[in-house]
Structure 1
């Protein structure tokens, strides 16, 4: 986790998964819209007070970086010892009092160790699921630690992984080491791509007189000759060679293809986390009409699946705990949803809105719907440009029956007038 090649993919996924965040909504038909809006605003304020967004982002960093991430739920008045923390926390009106939710804390997985778990009966719901954890000597019930494991391992391996899963750096290790080795090899090749060769009579002047039948080369003379050439190897220097017994040559290694080899080893690191190159390395696609829009769209789909699979269960528990903390009960009509990362531009949204308007106009004129029904559909459309314009109220002329004087000739309007 200390190398940039390991850390950056983890940080990118965690930031993207919490960048657009969530929006709160009401699924039921509340009679008092003002009260519903106030309750949703209270939940939003409570999420800000508890720093839920930052806590969940850091939990994802731990989950991807270490294989498991924990969020500890701190309640006001509960002792920080075995007597207080070993008691199960029930997200029900009888399990937590109003105003008791004090704080949320990320617990580094290195400080947690499972205490007991069922390894006997696979038919039980708690099979290979710790009932409680040791957190630096304090026994904490598992219901007080909200855990996320992005990459699970088989049950038989869970004790070896501290009941977590595979870490993203662990899966990236081979590809990162291959890239580092390739990068170093390319760097060494570039710095030593040319070799100078001195062709000289080494058995002549550089021969040492040892008195034996086979004379040896004087290494000091060779070294001194090469040192003299290296001292003059700049463009302003001059080589002095013996015209009869010496020659000079340069052998260069081809550098073509090195960039492709290094880029390919780098791209392999982006394939495991599924992050586009433009987001992970800032590398833009090359060529005519090259674009990363398709890859980014696929990446956003992967993030949406990650949110629903790993973030939604934790946020659901926190959402219920916040309601219990505010009102002492859970409103079944209140809910939340993840805001899509992929957003249309203003021009694209305007084109879509014009298409919807044309469809409504055609349906109203053909008698399929009334203007009031068109307004209700527009008010319920989360992507409409006019969703906040109060379209759920009656028509501007006060006609609450759903007809408009501008469409009195439509069959739907005539039926409405006959009904009146």
Structure 2
């Protein structure tokens, strides 16, 4: 008697056809996983353009537009100058790439002191308090013992790191000086085994890339044999037993090839037979295109972005899939990048200003940029909406006070950038107006 639970757990079962049974080849498949080691990951990244693009493109797009600070102009100028000095943008970009490639990376923060095993308290970081930033991958900055106290705010995080040197020694680094970036997420149990790092993104897509690469190499090999000349000579195999015959054959057909290329003709004996074999390549482009689309889907990057190709299909612009892709990248910025970036920029702002003002914050710039026509349409719709709201109220009174509506509209125009220099012009206009107003007459 069969095990009923084992049978139903396989899915659809048909005893007559054998579907889902022991004779069903599709029911016998199982999943297995073998992660790529460091050497394989680096070899794939350095030698294969698809691997490099799968790693680099999302990291580049996440950092392409950067972020914008919202605070006083003087503060923004100082923060941006400090970001430039510390090379924050390029450091985060490199950390993202290495995290995707190796499964984990980190930015090490130095305050210029010699003992990096001591905690770095952000509240004690003054102006110029950050000396430099260094990006380390998971193999150079190894995790120490994890914190297994469930009541600790650093539960299941490393209690220290060891920076491995070229000479084989190591330097102890306190976790407060390390900003972690994780690659592909893992189930919780596996995270513990790899010291809370992740997988390389190549682990999940390398089979698709390998198949596409094999297809390209196969087509390249066929190109070498696209046309083959076939000669049939009576008694050829028997004659090859003689060295003199071999030499005569080599000389004869070398002459035939030279004559064919010169006068476009093949001169042969009447008893010989000559054929020309050619390979049909008509279906190969479709096969290769399908393989590249599979790689694009595996990497979660639109083909128009991954392959740098124009969209196919009638009236297809590719804007829809690119907009969806940029929306996903924007969501990933908020879900995975904001937390480590806030920890890093908290220290950078303190190093720039000596403190972190309460009114100071940052937001990621939008990745999808509207065309000039679209921007003009949005501007017109916003202006019409404000005009409509201002004109619809009870009697002569507007629905919303004009002053409040004006302030809201000005803020919207400043944030959208529809009118460059609007904020500075309003401030200057207000100052000029104050100067032109006469002093109040004392009674």
Taking structure 2 as the reference length, the TM-score comes to: 0.75
Q: Which residue of 1 aligns with 2:338?
A: 312
Decide whether aligned partners of structure 1 residues 195 and 375 sit closer, same or farther in structure 2, where only a CA change above 3 A counts: same
Q: Which residue of 1 aligns with 2:76?
A: 40
Decide whether aligned partners of structure 1 residues 126 and 317 sit closer, same or farther in structure 2, where only a CA change above 3 A counts: closer
Cα distance in structure 2, aligned partners of 1:289 and 1:125: 54
* DSSP-derived class of the 2:50 partner: helix
Q: Which residue of 1 aligns with 2:10?
A: none
Greater shift after overlay, 384-393 or 56-65? 384-393
Decide whether aligned partners of structure 1 residues 357 and 126 sit closer, same or farther in structure 2, where only a CA change above 3 A counts: closer
**How do 1:270-285 residues align onto structure 2 when only pairs under 5 Å count?**
270-285=296-311
Cα distance in structure 2, aligned partners of 1:109 and 1:219: 65
**How do 1:219-230 residues align onto structure 2 when only pairs under 5 Å count?**
221=245, 224-225=248-249, 228-229=252-253
Cα distance in structure 2, aligned partners of 1:68 and 1:200: 65
CA contact (8 A) 1:206 1:222 kept: no
Deviation string 1:168-201 (CA, Å, 9 cap, x unpaired) is 2333322222122111111111221233332333
**How do 1:107-186 residues align onto structure 2 when only pairs under 5 Å count?**
107-118=136-147, 125-136=153-164, 137-158=170-191, 161=194, 163-186=196-219
Greater shift after overlay, 382-391 or 293-302? 382-391
CA contact (8 A) 2:146 2:195 kept: no
* DSSP-derived class of the 1:201 partner: coil
Q: Which runs of 5+ in 2 are unaligned?
A: 1-44, 165-169, 393-397, 435-443
CA contact (8 A) 2:107 2:180 kept: yes
Q: Which residue of 2 aligns with 1:383?
A: 416
Taking structure 1 as the reference length, the TM-score comes to: 0.79
Cα distance in structure 2, aligned partners of 1:259 and 1:235: 30
Cα distance in structure 1, aligned partners of 2:121 and 2:383: 49
**For this pair of structures, how many residues does the alignment match?**
371
Does 1:57 pair with 2:118?
no
Q: 1:346 aligns with which of 372, 378, 393?
A: 372
**How do 1:238-253 residues align onto structure 2 when only pairs under 5 Å count?**
238-243=265-270, 245-253=271-279
Q: Which residue of 2 aligns with 1:12?
A: 57
Cα distance in structure 2, aligned partners of 1:223 and 1:269: 51
Deviation string 1:257-292 (CA, Å, 9 cap, x unpaired) is 111112222222222222223333222123432312
Cα distance in structure 2, aligned partners of 1:269 and 1:224: 52
Cα distance in structure 2, aligned partners of 1:175 and 1:310: 26
Aligned-pair distance for 1:122?
6.2
Q: 1:87 aligns with which of 118, 121, 133?
A: 118
Aligned-pair distance for 1:305?
1.9
* DSSP-derived class of the 1:279 partner: helix
* DSSP-derived class of the 1:72 partner: strand
Structure 1 or 2: more helix by fraction: 2
Decide whether aligned partners of structure 1 residues 256 and 387 sit closer, same or farther in structure 2, where only a CA change above 3 A counts: closer
Aligned-pair distance for 1:161?
4.0
CA contact (8 A) 1:186 1:258 kept: yes
Aligned-pair distance for 1:121?
6.1
Aligned-pair distance for 1:296?
1.5
Q: Which runs of 5+ in 1 are unaligned?
A: 27-35, 209-216, 401-420
**How do 1:351-390 residues align onto structure 2 when only pairs under 5 Å count?**
351-366=377-392, 367-381=398-412, 382-383=415-416, 385-386=418-419, 388-390=421-423
CA contact (8 A) 1:67 1:167 kept: yes
* DSSP-derived class of the 2:197 partner: coil
CA contact (8 A) 1:179 1:262 kept: yes
